[in-house]
Amino acid sequence: MTELREEQAEQLLNQLLRDNEIIRFREEFLELHPYDQAKFFANQEKDARILLYSYLSPEEMAPIVENLRAEETYEELISEMEPSYVAEILTEMYADDAADVLNELNKDQAASYLTMMDNEAAQEIKELLHYDEYTAGSIMTTEFIAIHSNQTVRSAMQILRREAPEAETIYYLYVIDEGKHLIGVISIRDLIIADDETMIIDITNERVVSVSVGDDQEEVARKMKDYNFLALPVVDFQNHLLGIITVDDIIDVIDEEASDDYSKLAAIVEGDTTDKSPLSNAKSRLPWLIILLFLGMFTASLIGRFEDTLDQVAILAVFIPLIAGMAGNTGTQALAVAVRNIATGDIHKEEKWRIVIREAGTGLITGLTCGILITIVVFVWKENFFLGLLVGTSVIITLIIATLAGAFIPLLMHHFKIDPAVASGPFITTVNDIISILVYFGLATIFMQYLI
């Protein structure tokens, strides 16, 4: 029912837009939530978007740009607008969102728009732009409410009423001293229920959790999740309050990091999307595929070295996909567990060797179970006990090694400050293929006399 209403609303807006009914269109359009406005805007062709720029003021356009969530289109959209119109939109946006837009443009364009903007707004954005990407400083906003510890609740409420319209969130008010050092936090609830003459310092919670301006955005997201906060204050090394990070920014970070890790696990580089051309996507995937191709050739050459073994016992070839596939699947499972522990921060709560030992135990149990099962199946199927024992033993050994490799490689990368997601599923699978071939044919060669 909701989807039907949304579709009808979009059809009505499209009709009003085509008929140039400006007043009616504005009435209907501005009643929508900014997210729905952004969805409608993103679905329009260039001619319709240009018409929208004439219908909407920069103040009305600002929340639409904030909700687009389409960084790759910012440059294209901005090129459609008058520069002065863009500058006014950026002035009306929250500083952190405006900084995100400018980060997608080249430096000359960004500098040009900052020059045309309101001086105060431009200065706030400039401060955010000089922080390293993917740090707390790059995603924080400077639109927050700070009050002094030596104020009364009455004067703090006056500040709240005056500054609330411009603040990104008012759920928390941050308490600072004369040197702008962060000393505590007050919830809006505590402020409302306190007596007017109560001193702010008397109702301040001094056990405030903050993040450093240089902290990685993943660490910030983890802390936000652990404490279940709606906002986190950002401080420098001297504990000066610089800004805050709100939960909506953290949701974007979580989405971005999850997408990035998933892409790496699949050996796909960042930016490989459905709206890019096949040629662009192919170029981004080819480096990994070429590496895996050569690793595959190495696997093939290993099998070639055991050609005499295969000539004598051709039935061994039947079980190559089974053993290699089991090793690859087990390694990928261990990889996923290790990467998840690192991503969620559980790696700090557990010793790394405990994770490796736990996965080794898991590999031993799964290996023994699958090995015994396949031994029985092969013995019944081929009526050859030694062949079944060979395949079963190979499965046991390869599953243990594959599980250890899947757990150890990302932990080793994490130790050397390399993104563990780079230890992608295809990479682990190919490495485990090599290990499984060596184990399987190595054992077959050693015990050849029992197989013939």
What fold is seen in the domain 278-451? Tetracycline Repressor; domain 2 (1.10.357)
Local mean pLDDT, 10-residue blocks, the chain (452 residues): 68 88 91 90 89 93 85 76 93 89 87 90 88 89 91 92 87 91 92 92 92 90 87 93 90 72 56 59 70 76 80 84 86 79 63 80 92 92 89 92 86 72 66 87 86 72
Region of 337 on the Ramachandran plot (φ > 0 left; ψ -120 to 50 alpha; else beta): alpha
CATH classification for the domain delimited by 146-262, as one of 3.10.580.10, 3.40.50.300, 3.30.9.10, 3.40.80.10:
3.10.580.10
Q: DSSP labels for 207-271?
A: ----EETTSBHHHHHHHHHHHT-SEEEEE-TT-BEEEEEEHHHHHHHHHHHHHHHHHHHTT--TT
What fold is seen in the domain 2-130? MgtE N-terminal fold (1.25.60)
Q: Are 436 and 331 spatial neighbours (Cβ–Cβ below 8 Å)?
A: no
pLDDT value at position 211?
Answer: 94
pLDDT value at position 1?
Answer: 45
pLDDT value at position 408?
Answer: 83
Q: Across-strand partners of 186? A: 173
pLDDT value at position 212?
Answer: 94
Contacts of 311 (CB under 8 A, 6+ apart): none
Domain residue ranges in the chain: 2-130, 146-262, 278-451
Query: Are 146-262 and 278-451 in the same CATH fold?
Result: no
Tell how strand 172-176 and strand 146-148 pair up: parallel
